[in-house]
Structure 1
Amino acid sequence: MKKSSVRTKSLLILFLITFFVTNSFAQDSGRKLISLNDQWEFKKENGVTEKVNLPHTWNDKDVMDDEPGYYRGLGIYKRKLKLDDSAKGKDIYLVFNGVAQEAEVLINGKTAGKHIGSYTRFTVAITPFLNYKDDVIEVRVTNRFNEDIPPLTADFTFFGGIYRNVNLLITNPVHFSQKENGSSGVFITTPQVSAATAKVQVKSIIENLSLAKKVQIQTTIFNAQGKEILSQISTLNMLSGGNDTVVQELNNIKQPELWSPESPYLYRIVTKIIDMKTKTVLDQVSNPLGFRWFKFDANQGFFLNDKPLKLIGASRHQDYEYLGNATPDALQIRDVELLKKMGGNFLRVAHYPQDPLVLEACDRLGILASVEIPVINTITESETFTKNCLDMQVEMIRQNFNHPSIIIWAYMNEILLRTKFENDKPRQQIYFDHVRELAQKLEDLTRKEDPSRYTLLVNHGAWDIYNKVGLTKIPMIIGWNLYNGWYSGSPADFAKFLDQHHKELADKPMLVTEYGADADPRIRSFSPVRFDKSVEYCIYFNQIYLNEMLKRPFVSGGMAWNLADFNSETREETMPHINNKGLLTIGRKPKDTYFLYQAYLADQPYLKITSAQWQDRTGVADSASLFCTQPLQVATNLKSAELFLNGKSLGIKEAVDHVCSWQVPFVDGLNQLRVVAGNKSDETDINFQLQPYRFTDQLVSFKNMNVLLGSKRFYIDENQHQLWMPDQPYRKGSWGWIGGEPYKGTNNRITYGSDKNILDTNDDPIYQTQQVGIQQFKMDVPDGEYELSLYFAELVGGISKEALVYNLDNTHKKEVEENRIFSVLINGATFLNNINLAKDFGYTTAIIKKTRVTVQNGKGITIDFTPVEGKAVLNALQLRKVY
C-alpha cells in the first residue's frame, strides 16, 4: 500500500474514534472524556512549525533512511484549549497514554506536570492554571538518551513524540483519584474463584477537592448480557480535601461463567460515587471482570481453571509500516485479532507496556498476556535509574491491574547481554551485584503490589552467567530467549537447553519467551541455510521449536519473536532498519510462517498453500524440457493432501511436521494449483517465467533474466516486478560464470554474502552477494539486440560498525581492504576501464552499469573481467532481449 493511502486511512480511523469518544460519554457518569488528538502544532527544537494530529512521532521517516542515527532531541507541541462555563467548578485533567520519553506539560506557559518514561499513561491536573478564555497547552517532549531512564539500548527504535491518544478529563470535585499512577483509582481482585462460586473485592480510592460531603460508593456487577448480578453500597463521610479508600466484598456469586481463550466471558463492574443529598452521580468508572484461576507448575506446565493449557503465541512491538509507533487504534486492535486468528492464546507485551487498547482486546478475545517494563540489555548503577525502574513497574501494574488477560508481570529482558567491565573482573562483580539487587527490588515490589499474579525475569541463552549472578533464583517464572540455530549453534541445541533447565532448575517453571529466525518475505531458497533470511529456513526453524516445546509438559509455553516485523534503526541486513523475525510483515501481511502456526494451532481442519505468497517465480528448464521442477509446500493439520497442477494430480503426500511437500513441474506462464484433503481445499495461481536450459533448444523463447552472483537464493523485487535467481557455473549453450568464488564475508555468522546496508537502493539483496575473482560471464544467446546491466557494490571496507550484540557466536574478523581495480570487456570491446568501486562510487553503494549489445554471427555475449589490482567482482547481472 502506498504511504499516502495508509495515512488517509489512519486519519479516517482517527476521526471516527475522536467523534465517538467525544460524543459517547455517559451523560450521568459525572465525568467527560474528550479526545484532544486534533489541531496541534509541532516543531523540533529550532525547527519549522507544522500542523499535526495525534498520535504523532517525528521519527517515522528518518529511521528508514541511509544516514545512521535518527533525531533524538526536543519536540514541542502546542494546542489551544477552549472551555465553556460548564467546566468552571470542575476538576480538569490531561490524560496522556504515551509520550516518548520525557515530557513537561505547560498550561499558559506554566509547568503543570512532568513525566518520565515512554510507555505508561500519566495524568496532569491543570485546573489551577486555566483562564477559561484562551488557554494554551504546550507539551515539551524529548527522546534524547538519558542514562537514568530505561531502556538504554535495545533492538528496537526509540521513537519520539506524543504517539498515543491524549484526552481531556473533566470530573466533579469528588471523584475517583487521579493520583494513582495513571490508573482509574479502582482496583479489582478475585480472591476466590471456582466453577461453583466466586468472590470479588473492589478497592476504590476517592478524592474530594470540595467541601465536606457524604457520599455512597455503589459497585455493581453486570453479566455479558447487561443483567445485574450483584451490587453493594458503602457510605462515606468525606472531609474537605480528603482522600479515602473503600474496600467492598461482593461474595457468593454462584456458578460464574469462567474466562478462558475458548470462552472469554467478560462481566462488567461499574463503580459510582453518589451524592447522598442530591442522589446525583458524581463520578463513575467501568472495568472488565473475568473469573479465572491459574497456576504454573515446574513439571506439568500451565493450568487455567484446573485444565492444562500450553501457552503458544507471540511477542509484539507497537510500530507499523510508514507510521513508526504512532499507530492508530484500529491497527492496534487488529494485531491482537491476527494473533487470535493464528490460533495463539498468549501475547507477550514486549518490551514495554503498550496502548490500553491492546489489553482490552486481549480481555475480549481470550488472549492471556504478560507485560513488562523496558529494563533491557544493561542498567545504570544510580539511584535515579533504580527509582525510575520502580516507578515504571508501579505505573504498569496499577494501570493494567484490572485486566483478566494478564497473568504475569515482568521486569527485565536479557539484562546480561551487554556485560560491562569485561577487562575489570572485580568491578564487573560489583556491577552484577547491582543488577541482582535491582531485580530483587523489582520482584519484591511486584509481589507487594499484586500477589495474585506471577513474576517473570527473561534471560538470553547464556546459561552459566544468569545462574552465577543469581537471577534464576529471584522470579517465580524464568523466561529464556533462545535462538539456537540462528544467533548461535544449531536448532538441535534448543531441546538440549530445555532439558538442562528442567534438570538443573527443577523447581522453576519456564517459558520460552523468544525464539525466531529472520524471514525476508522477498527471499526464497531451495537450499536454505542459517542466516540466508529465506522464508524456507524460517519454516524449518519454527517446526523444530514448536515440536520440541509441544512434546515437553514442563515447558509452559513459547512466544514467537515476533508477531510482526518491526523497526530497529541500527540493523542493516537484507531489509535495513527492519527486524524480519515477524510472522507478519511490518505492514501485517502474513508470511508462510504465520500459516504454519495456523496449521499447528487450529482446532478445525486447516489446509493452506503456503508458497502461494510466492506467486511469481522463475527458473531454468529441466534439461530440454518445457517445465522447471521446483518444490511447493502446503501447511495443514490433516494427515495427508493431494495436489493438482492445471487439473492433473501430482499425487498424495503425507504431512511431516504439518507440511506436505511436492516437486512441481511448473510450465511457462500460468500454473493453476489446487490442494485437496477431505472436504478442505485451497487454490492459487502461480505465474512462472521459464528460462531455457539451452538457448538453442528453441522450446522456450528467451525474454529476460536476472541473476544473483554468489547466491543460492531467489529475490522478488516487488516494486519493479522483477524475479532474481541464483547463478550457475557456465554450461555450453547456456549461461553462467567462469572463475572465482562466492563472497564469504568477514564473520562466521553468514555462510555467504554481506549483511551491510547497501546505499542508494531498496533492493539490498541484489548487491549483498557477489562472485569474487570472476574471470568471465558467458551467455550463448542467439543473434539479436540485447540490453545488459551489470550490478556492483564494494562489500569490503567503509565505516567500521559495531557487530550486533545478539549474534552470540559472532567471530568478527577485521576487514582487510584491497585496492580493487579492474576492467570489463564485452565481446572484446572495453565497457568499463580501470573501474575502482570504492574510490569511484563509495563503499557499499549500489552501482548499475547498463549498455546495449548487438549479438551476431552466433557469438553470444562474453563478458571478460580483467584485474589490474586485486580481484574483480560482479554482484548481479540482468539481460533483456530487445528484439
Structure 2
Amino acid sequence: MYARILFNTFLLTLLLQSGLHAQGRFSSTINSNWLFTKGDTAQKAVGSVWQTVSIPHTWNTQDVLDDEPGYYRGDGWYKKTLYIPAGWKDREVYLYFEGAGQSADVFVNGKSVGKHQGGYTFFSVPISSALRFAQSGNATNDVVVRVNNSVNENLPPIMGDYNIFGGLYRDVYLNVLDKVHFDADNQATSGIFITTPQVNAASAVVQVKGSFVNGTGSSRNLIVSHRILTAEGAVLAEQKKTVKANAGQKVDFVQDFKDIKGQRLWSPDDPYLYRVVSRITDAATGQKLDEVSNPLGFRWYAFSASEGFSLNGNSLKLIGTSRHQDYPGMGNALPDAMHVRDVELLKEMGGNFLRVAHYPQDPAVLQACDRLGILASVETPVMGFTDSEAFASSAKQQHREIIRQTYNHPSVIIWSYMNEMLLRVPFATDSTKQQAYFRHLTDLARELEAMARQEDPARYTLIPNHGAFDLYNKVGLTKIPRLVGWNLYQGWYGGTLEDFGKFLDMHHRELPDKPVLITEFGADADNRIHSFSPIRFDKSVEYTMLFHQAYLKAILDRPFVAAGMIWNLTEFNTAVRAETLPNINPKGIMTYDRKEKDPYRFYKANLLKAPYIQIGSKEWNRRVGTAESESQLTCSQPVVVFSNQPTVTLTVQGKVLGTAETKQGMARFTVPFVNGLNRLVATVSGSTVVSDQADIMFRVLPPTLKNPQLPFDELNVSLGDSRFFFDEKTGQNWLPEQVYKPGSWGYVGGKQYVMKNNSRVSFGSGRNILGTELDPIYQTQRTGIEQFKFDVPTGDYELVLHFAELISKTVNNDIAFNLGQRAVPEVYIERSFDVLINGQEVISGLSNSDVLKTDQPVATKFMVSVQNQEGITVSFNVRQGETVLNGIQLKKIR
C-alpha cells in the first residue's frame, strides 16, 4: 500500500512537472500540505490563522479527551493549491474523498463544485469545468473544502455512544480519467458491480454489470473486457464485447461468465481472492482507455432460524466483534495501516466476523476482511430518528451509497441499518404522537429494506435492537429485515447472567422463523481494577470475565444462534461517558491503545486452533496483599492461565506449583506470592511445547505492621471500595478498605457510600472527577467515618488524604446508551468537618460549600513523626452533615 502511494505521488509530481499524461486512469492521494483553520473564516484575517496539516486530519483529537463537557462541533476549512498540467484539459478530473465528517462543501477557484452529506461514505466531485489551464506547463488551482460536524437533526446519526469527529479524516485522491471511462458518477463507485448468482463446490456463475461513458464529441467503437484472474495472475476466465458508443453516451452492460470450473472457494480458513479486471479499449487503435480492478471471492452462505449460519455448505458459528475507528490522541484520523491492524487483531484472536458498526469505515477495513477471511456486516448510521422528510432522504441516500460502494467485497454478507431505534422513545405522555412516530419509523425501515433488496437481492438484511423484545416486536422492527439482531447486556445493566440464555430461548420460541444474531454483548473492564469477589458493574476485569464466559457458553450451546458479536474489539472514545475511565467506553476486549485484556485472551483460548497459552492479567505486574500469618509470610492470590490445551502446568520460582485442567479455555491456580520478584512460567506439552512467563513484583504486608521480617514501607487504601486498583503510571497498588484491626490498619465507623435509587452501581459513583486520572479512588468513599488508624512503628511518615464530594446541587443527564434504570438524583446536603492527626487539628471546617467542591479532588499531604509506638490515628469530627474520606496513603520516609 505504502509503496503504491509513494509511487503514485512520484508519478503525479512527474506529470505535474512535465504536463504529460498517461493512458487510462490515474489516481493518487493528495494528502500532504493542506492548510487548515477552524471556525468562521469570514471573521478571521486570511493567512493569519491557517496551519499546515496532512490528511487524514480531525480537529477533535484533544477536546474529546479532556474534562470540559462536549467538544468542538462546527466548521473546519481546508485549502490546497493544485498545479494542473495543460495536457489535462482533454481529460476528466475528479476530487475523491474517502470521508469528511459530517458534511462537506467543495470549491475550486472560488466556484462551488459539489456538496456531500454524511460523514462515513465516499464521494467524488468532478472539477474539470472549474479548473484553470495554461497554454503549456502547469496552472495553479485553489481547492477549498468546508467541513462541518455540527449537530444536525436531519443528518444521521443524530445520537450515539460515540463521538462525531470533524475533519477530512480519510484519504483524499485526485483521479484523472480519459474522456472514455467507466462511470465515475455512480455514488463514488468504480462503476462495476460483481455478483455470483450461482456457486457450488464444482462450478460457479459470475455476472459483471456496469456502465461507461463516452465523453468525447464523436462516436467510438470500443471493446469492453473483463478478466477473472487468480491470485497468482493466471486467467481463469475472460469475456469481451465490442460496443459502439455515440458521442456523450452512457452505455450500460452486463457480461456473464456462465460455467466456471475449478474455482477455489473463499472462507475464513482459506480466504482465496480472485480479481476481476475490467478494461475499455479503443477498437481501432488498441489503446487502453480505462481499467479498474475489483475483488472476487467464490462462496455461498445461508442463515437459518433453526440451524444458524452455514458457509459453503458447512455449519459455521460466527464469533467476532464490532469496531469503532478511533485511537487515543488521533481521533478517527488514522492511516490505513492502523485500520488494517485492528482487523488483524480480530483474526489473531480467532474471530471470523466483524460488525462494521455503527457506520461504514475506511476502505482498508473491508479490503483486510476480504484478504484475511473475516465475514462482515456493514451498517447504515441511522441512530436516533427525526420524523422529517429531510432525515429520511439523508438516511436513504447514505444507505444507497453504502450498498454500492461496498458491493464488491466478498467478505460482506449483511446490509445492516438502524440501531437501537427504540432505546429512548419520545411522546411518553401522548399516545397519538407516539403511534405516529412508530408508524413513520417503520415506514423508513421498510423503505431501507426495499432499497437493500432491490440493490442487492443476494445479501441478508439486519436491524440490531436493544433488549426490549416486546416493544420491538409490537412496533414491527423484528418483522421487516431478513435477520434480527439483539444488543444484550443482561447481567450488566440489569438482570442476571442467566437471563441472557432465557432471552435467546424466548426469541427462538416467539420468532421461530427469524434467524437471530447477537449483535452486541459486553461489560466494562477497567484494566486497572481487580476484584477477588467481583460483582456486577464493579468495572473489574474479573467480573467481565464472568460475563464473557456465560455469554459465550450460551451462544455456543444454541445451534439456532447464528452469531455473537462482542461489543467492542477495543475501548473507544465517547465524550458522554464518565465513570472510572472518563470519555472512554471500556467494554473493549482490548484497551484503547490496543493492548490485550483478559477477555481477548479468553477468546483466543476458545477460538484459536494452534496451541496457545497466556498468563492472565500480566499487566498487573506489581501487586500487594497481606500475609497468611505472622509466621507464614506469603500471600495467596488466584492466577488464571488461558490455554486451548487440555492441561496447564504452572511453575513458580522454578518449582512446579501444580497442573490444572482447562475449563472453557482457563486453568486456575492459587499462587503463594513471596515478597519481591515472583517468576511464573506456564507450560503445556504436546507435539509442540508452548509456554508463557510473567514476572510479578509482590509486596507482602504483614498482618501486623510492626513485623520485623517485613518492615512497613507503604500503604494505599481506597475507602468505600472492595476492589484492587493498580496505577500503572506510578506502579502503586491501592488496596480495598478494611475495618481496623489492632496491630494493623483500617477504618473505624461510617458506611460505604452507595448511590441511592440506582439499579446498576452497587457502590460509589460514576461521576467524572475532574483534573485527575485516579477517578476510581475518588468515586468511592466512606461516609460518616470516625477514624482511620495505622499501628505503625516509630518513624517519619508521609500521609496523604483524598476527598471528593460526590453529590451535586444540579441534575446531570444520564447516558442514553447506559441501558439500565436511570438514577434518581440524591439530595445535596451541606457538610463540614475537621480532621485531626494524633489529636492535632490539621484541617478545620473542610466543607462542600468552599474547598470540597463536587467532582473536584482534594488531596492533602502531611508529614507525621511517630514516637513511643503510638502509631497514627486520623480522626474526623463532624460539624454539619457527614464526614467523608475517599482515599488514604501512608509511606515511611525514615
Which one-letter code corresponds to 2:61 in the other structure? D
Q: Does 1:590 align with 2:601?
A: no
| Counterpart residue identity of residue 75, structure 1 | G
- Who is 1:603 aligned against? 609
**AA at the equivalent of 1:248:** Q
Supply the distance in 1 between the matched residues of 2:648 and 2:810 (Cα, whole angstroms). Answer: 52
- After TM superposition, the structure 1 = structure 2 runs for residues 462-861 of structure 1, keeping only pairs within 5 Å, are 462-624=468-630, 625-678=632-685, 679-746=689-756, 747-861=758-872
Q: Is 1:798–1:844's contact at 8 Å kept on the other side of the alignment?
A: no
Assess, with a 3 A threshold, how the Cα gap between structure 1 residues 86 and 29 changes in structure 2: closer, same or farther.
closer
- What is the CA-CA distance between 1:305 and the residue it aligns to? 0.3
Q: Which moved more, 1:234-243 or 1:305-314?
A: 234-243
Measure the CA separation in 2 of the matches of 1:659 and 1:169.
53
How many angstroms apart in 2 are the aligned matches of 1:770 and 1:24? 64
Q: 1:72 touches 1:144 (CA, 8 Å); kept in 2?
A: yes
Question: Residues of 1 paired with 2:61 and 2:825: CA distance?
Answer: 34
Q: Which stretch shifts more, 671-680 or 217-226?
A: 671-680
Gapped regions of structure 1 (runs ≥ 5):
1-12
CA distance in structure 1 between the aligned counterparts of 2:452 and 2:426, rounded to whole angstroms? 27
Bigger shift: 834-843 or 347-356? 834-843
Give the superposition deviation at 1:194: 0.9
Give the letter aligned to residue 274 of structure 2.
Y
Aligned to 2:421: 415
Partner of 2:54: 53
Distance 2:706 2:325 in 1: 54
- Match of 1:162? 168
Q: Does 1:367 pair with 2:374? A: yes
Q: Could you tell me how far apart the structure 2 residues matched to 1:241 and 1:248 are?
A: 22
Q: Is the 8 A contact 2:494 2:759 kept in 1?
A: no
Classify the secondary structure of the residue corresponding to 1:549: helix
TM-score (norm 1): 0.97
Q: Of 267, 283, 292, which residue of structure 2 is paired with 1:285?
A: 292
Give me the whole-angstrom Cα distance separating, in 2, the residues matched to 1:453 and 1:814.
47
What does 1:442-461 align with in structure 2 at a 5 Å threshold?
A: 442-461=448-467
Q: Is the 8 A contact 1:784 1:854 kept in 2?
A: yes
- Cα distance between partner residues in 1 of 2:357 and 2:8: 28
Residue 205 of structure 2 is aligned to residue 199 of structure 1: yes
Contact kept, 8 Å, 2:835 with 2:875, in 1: the verdict is yes
Contact 1:208 1:238 in 2 (8 A): yes
1:189-240 CA-partner distances (Å, limit 9, x unpaired): 0111111111111112101221222211011011011111111111111122
Matched residue, 2:18: none
The reply to whether residue 319 of structure 1 matches residue 326 of structure 2 is: yes
Question: Shift in Å at residue 673 of structure 1?
Answer: 0.4
Q: Which moved more, 1:185-194 or 1:613-622?
A: 613-622
Deviation at 1:246, TM superposition (A): 1.1
2:30 aligned with 1:36, yes or no? yes
CA contact (8 A) 2:846 2:852 kept: no
How much has 1:255 moved relative to structure 2? 2.0
Matches within 5 A, 1:71-470: 71-132=72-133, 133-211=139-217, 212-376=219-383, 378-470=384-476
CA offsets per residue over residues 491-528 of structure 1, 9 Å max, x none?
A: 11000000001111000001000000000111111111
* Count of aligned pairs: 869
Corresponding residue of 1:66: 67
1:22: how far off? 2.6
Q: Using a 3 Å threshold, how does the CA distance of structure 1 residues 238 and 758 change in structure 2: closer, same or farther?
A: same
Question: Which deviates more from structure 2 when the two are superposed, residues 45-54 or residues 697-706?
Answer: 45-54
Tell me how far apart the structure 1 counterparts of residues 575 and 837 of structure 2 sit (CA, whole Å): 41
CA distance in 2, matches of 1:296, 1:615: 45
Structure 1: distance between partners of 2:321 and 2:534:
24
Query: What is the CA–CA distance in structure 2 between the aligned matches of 1:346 and 1:561, rounded to whole Å?
Result: 12
2:597–2:617 contact (8 Å) kept in structure 1? no
Cα deviations by residue, 1:429-459 (Å, 9 ceiling, x for unpaired): 1100011111000000000000010000111
After TM superposition, give the deviation of residue 28 of structure 1 in Å: 6.9
- Mapped to 1, the partners of 2:312 and 2:517 lie a distance apart of 19
Alpha carbons of structure 1 residues 43 and 799: separation in structure 2 relative to 1, 3 Å: farther
- Once structures 1 and 2 are overlaid, which stretch shifts more, 475-484 or 85-94? 85-94
Deviates further, 853-862 or 723-732: 723-732
Following superposition, the deviation at residue 85 of structure 1 comes to 2.2
- The answer to which of 102-111 and 833-842 deviates more is 833-842
Deviations 1:159-187 (A, max 9, x none): 01110000000000111111110111000
Change over 3 Å in CA distance of 1:20–1:861 after alignment to 2: farther
In 1: Cα distance, 2:4 partner to 2:523 partner = 37
The answer to whether the Cα contact below 8 Å between 2:814 and 2:822 also exists between their aligned partners in 1 is no
Name the aligned partner's letter for residue 189 of structure 2: S
Would the aligned equivalents of 1:488 and 1:807 in 2 still touch at CA under 8 Å? no
TM-score by length of 2: 0.96
1:702–1:16: structure 2 CA closer, same or farther, 3 Å change rule?
farther
- Structure 2 unaligned residues grouped into runs of 5+: 16-20, 134-138
Whole-Å Cα distance in 1 between the matches of residues 3 and 254 of structure 2? Answer: 38
Q: Which moved more, 1:713-722 or 1:112-121?
A: 713-722
Deviation at 1:640, TM superposition (A): 2.2
> Which residue pairs with 1:4 in the alignment?
none
Distance 2:822 2:76 in 1: 40
Residue 277 of structure 1: how far off its partner (Å):
1.9
Give the whole-Å Cα distance in 1 for the aligned partners of 2:696 and 2:820: 39
Checking the alignment, whether the CA contact within 8 Å between 1:749 and 1:807 is kept in structure 2 is no
Using the alignment, how far apart are the partners of 2:292 and 2:736 within structure 1?
62
Whole-Å separation in 2 of the counterparts to 1:434 and 1:575: 38
Question: Which amino acid is the alignment partner of residue 313 of structure 1?
Answer: G
Q: CA deviation at 1:748?
A: 2.4
* Counterpart code for 1:44: K
Change (3 A) 1:286 1:297: same
Distance in structure 2 (CA, Å) of the matches to 1:806 and 1:205: 44
Displacement of 1:841 in angstroms is 4.1
1:5 matched residue in structure 2: none
* Letter of the structure 2 residue corresponding to residue 504 of structure 1: E
Equivalent pair of 2:719/2:887 in contact (CA under 8 Å)? yes
Residues 250-269 of structure 1: CA deviation (Å, up to 9, x unaligned): 12211210000000000111
Going from structure 1 to structure 2, the CA distance change for 1:552 and 1:21 (only over 3 Å counts) comes to: farther
For residues 23 and 666 of structure 2, the distance between their equivalents in structure 1, rounded to whole angstroms, comes to 55
CA RMSD of aligned residues (A): 1.4
The answer (yes or no) to whether the contact 1:104–1:140 under 8 Å persists in 2 is yes
Cα separation, 2, equivalents of 1:368 and 1:24: 36
- Identical counterparts, % of pairs: 49
Q: Aligned-pair distance for 1:677? A: 2.2
CA distance in 1, matches of 2:524, 2:316: 28
